[in-house]
């Protein structure tokens, strides 16, 4: 039985309780429903919850009671998850946090959510986000901002702020989000949780409401590295619905703490540390020094100035936004364009401009060439090192409203994650301490394409170091 004062656990911890008969799926789901009822009005994390969840949990309990080995076929059996509200779900509305899709009920399921339910997971509900994923604070949501569980006057980051806040506030043991240029890693840093952004194309984006199609990446948000590996293994793989998915089968990530089979050469990009605040740098450098004591080689490296990625990302993302949002004309989906929020209108206008006749070569084509230079810059660096370690965000969480007077808030806040997103690289955020205001600070590990396993192995080591320190 779950105790009344029990705190939320990781997915793997809950699964152990299910196997041992110390909890049922119905009890676990009811625990989170109670948590949501207590906290959601204050935090504004869930836009909708699953009314059928207890029935689904009861069915899972029947399977578990009949066969404890069922977890070998369904590793997430009976475990509840939160889902960012840009993943299409047939049993729950999907709004992308926009009034245009306020009552939209998708006729099909996204590949990501389908794979999770195939693995036995139960969807708790859909979480808040920046409308259409346009933002880095979850304040552009048409349904109001989400608040950071660590301090209610601060933003959780975005655009997957609802999902990261759900995990941080114990309103879900884990969640999935999507990242275009930091939308998993940056809010994970601000909320103090794990956020894994896979190689572009490793997890299908079919059924995810598109923002920038050449950048969008679904990924897991969890309490532990092991949970991130577990969800990744359930999500990753080719999908015939999505031609951009990588066609080779992904390498399975270790679900238990493992260490790299040799000392790694870890690069610290000086240009990234030059951008971020001193208190953030100190926490990341402290972890780097600990890794050095473990035998890894820490090496200062040089990458292209990350601020260059702001212009590249802004042009390419706006162009793809203007194309993707063109379908929301009130004929096929929801309401007409008069219901677009200010941020969506800004992005549509700029994107239409850079794609227009006479300006395409001057802006869009030039940005694509600059993107190629960023890709090659990473490739060159990775010939001499294994992984990159840096701050995830320039700062810890900022106060609600910080974005109001800065139309480029998202791009400037995501400056340390945009280059790797443009290059399609895998990366993970890990919490590495707190600042003086008791707000979480995050670091990121960036690796070459399709090297999620190497990233996870180092993440396990860092997780152990930070756990021991705390």
Starting at the earlier edge strand, list the strands of the sheet with 387-391: 46-49, 122-127, 80-84, 174-179, 217-222, 194-197, 427-434, 440-446, 387-391, 265-269, 297-301
110, 159, 163, 390: which is the annotated catalytic residue? 159
Report the Cα 116 to chain-centroid distance in Å. Answer: 16
Q: How far apart are CA 231 and CA 83, in angstroms?
A: 13
Choose among 344, 106, 313: nearest CA to 206.
106
Q: How far apart are CA 1 and CA 97, in angstroms?
A: 36
Rg over alpha carbons for the chain, rounded to the nearest Å, is: 21
Q: List % helix, strand, coil for the chain (3-state, nearest 5).
A: 40, 15, 45
197 with 191: CB under 8 angstroms?
Answer: no
Q: Is 159 a catalytic residue?
A: yes
Residue matched to tokens 């993970």: 428
Q: Is 420 a catalytic residue?
A: no
10, 25, 84, 453: which is the annotated catalytic residue? 84
125, β-bridge pairs: 49, 82
Q: How far apart are CA 159 and CA 140, in angstroms?
A: 9
CB atoms within 10 A of CB 247: 10
Q: Is 183 a catalytic residue?
A: yes
Query: CA separation (Å) from 262 to 94, 266, 386, 449, 458?
Result: 45, 12, 11, 20, 11
Q: Could you list the active site residues? A: 84, 159, 183
């Amino acid at each position: 039985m779950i105790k009344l004062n029990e705190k939320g656990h990781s997915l793997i911890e809950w699964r152990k309780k299910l196997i041992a008969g110390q909890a049922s799926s119905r009890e676990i789901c009811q625990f989170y429903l109670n948590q949501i009822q207590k906290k959601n009005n204050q935090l504004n994390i869930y836009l909708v919850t699953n009314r059928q969840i207890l029935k689904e949990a009861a069915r899972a309990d029947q399977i578990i009671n009949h066969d404890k080995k069922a977890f070998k076929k369904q590793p997430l059996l009976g475990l509840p998850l939160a889902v960012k509200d840009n993943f299409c779900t047939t049993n729950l509305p999907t709004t992308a946090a926009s009034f245009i899709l306020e009552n939209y009920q998708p006729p099909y399921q996204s590949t990501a959510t389908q794979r999770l339910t195939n693995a036995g997971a139960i969807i708790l509900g859909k979480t808040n986000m920046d409308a259409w994923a346009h933002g880095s604070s979850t304040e552009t949501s048409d349904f109001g901002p989400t608040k950071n569980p660590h301090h209610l006057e601060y933003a959780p980051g975005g655009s997957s702020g609802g999902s990261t806040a759900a995990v941080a506030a114990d309103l879900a043991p884990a969640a999935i989000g999507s990242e275009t240029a930091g939308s998993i890693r940056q809010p994970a840093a601000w909320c103090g949780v794990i956020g894994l952004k896979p190689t572009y194309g490793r997890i299908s984006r079919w059924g995810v409401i598109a923002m920038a199609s050449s950048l969008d990446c679904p990924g897991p948000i969890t309490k532990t590295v092991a949970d991130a590996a577990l969800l990744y293994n359930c999500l990753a793989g080719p999908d015939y619905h999505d031609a951009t998915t990588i066609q080779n089968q992904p390498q399975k990530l270790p679900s238990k703490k493992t260490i790299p089979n040799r000392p790694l050469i870890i690069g610290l990009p000086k240009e990234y540390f030059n951008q971020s605040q001193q208190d953030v740098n100190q926490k990341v450098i402290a972890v780097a020094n600990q890794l050095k004591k473990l035998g890894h080689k820490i090496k200062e490296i040089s990458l292209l100035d990350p601020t260059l990625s702001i212009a590249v990302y802004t042009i390419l993302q706006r162009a793809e936004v203007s194309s993707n949002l063109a379908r929301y004309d009130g004929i096929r989906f929801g309401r007409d364009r008069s219901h677009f929020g200010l941020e969506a209108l800004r992005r549509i206008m700029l994107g239409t401009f850079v794609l227009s006749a006479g300006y395409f070569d001057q802006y869009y084509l030039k940005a694509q060439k600059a993107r190629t230079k960023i890709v090659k810059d990473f490739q060159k660096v990775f010939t001499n090192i294994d992984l990159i370690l840096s701050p995830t965000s320039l700062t810890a969480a900022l106060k609600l409203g910080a974005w109001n007077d800065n139309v480029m808030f998202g791009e400037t806040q995501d400056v340390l994650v945009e280059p790797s997103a443009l290059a399609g690289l895998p990366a993970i955020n890990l919490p590495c301490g707190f600042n003086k205001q008791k707000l979480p600070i995050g670091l990121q590990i960036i690796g070459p394409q399709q090297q999620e396993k190497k990233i996870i192995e180092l993440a396990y080591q860092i997780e152990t170091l930070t756990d021991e320190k705390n």
